Amino acid sequence: MSEYTVTMSLSPARSRILVTAGVDEMVRTVLPQWRQVRHERAARSFLESLALWLDRPLRVVVSADEADATSFFGLTDDIGNPQRSVYYAVDVIERPVRRRPKRIPGVADFRDLRQLSLIDGERR
């Protein structure tokens, strides 16, 4: 039997939830942003209900733009420590900061050399 994983992304624009069983997707949903939710038990009730439906504890992976989101739902404590229950175990993941690599402007076009550096050719 495969492990069920619930991946939650809580951002100021929207909340996205993906439920997987191993590598297979079971549920995809886009919900309103977390600040529009009026009841702080909404996420925990959802996770507990899903665990009961599947008759198995869930692995929950949460990524949030604001620490308040996970704390509001009770998925972490006020310090940010992940919470556990009989129904689920929470892992909090920080989104990596994406940035463009620095380039030296105005010298020449070095795209071909950057591509060559990616090729694993034979060494002399």
Token pair listed for 61: 């992976």
pLDDT for res 108: 65
Please provide the average confidence, as pLDDT, over all residues in the chain.
Answer: 83
pLDDT for res 73: 87
pLDDT for res 96: 63
DSSP state letter for 84? B
CA distance 101 to 97: 12
pLDDT for res 69: 83
Q: Which fold has domain 4-95?
A: Nucleotidyltransferase; domain 5 (3.30.420)
CA distance 43 to 39: 9
pLDDT for res 12: 86
Rg of the chain taking only CA atoms, in angstroms: 21
Global model pTM greater than 0.85 = no
In degrees, rounded to 5, the angle at the alpha carbon of residue 44 between the alpha carbons of residues 42 and 45 is 65
What is the CB-side half-sphere exposure of residue 123 using CA atoms within 13 A?
2
pLDDT in tens, 38-63: 888 999 999 999 999 999 999 999 98
Counting as low any pLDDT under 50, the low residues of the chain are: 124
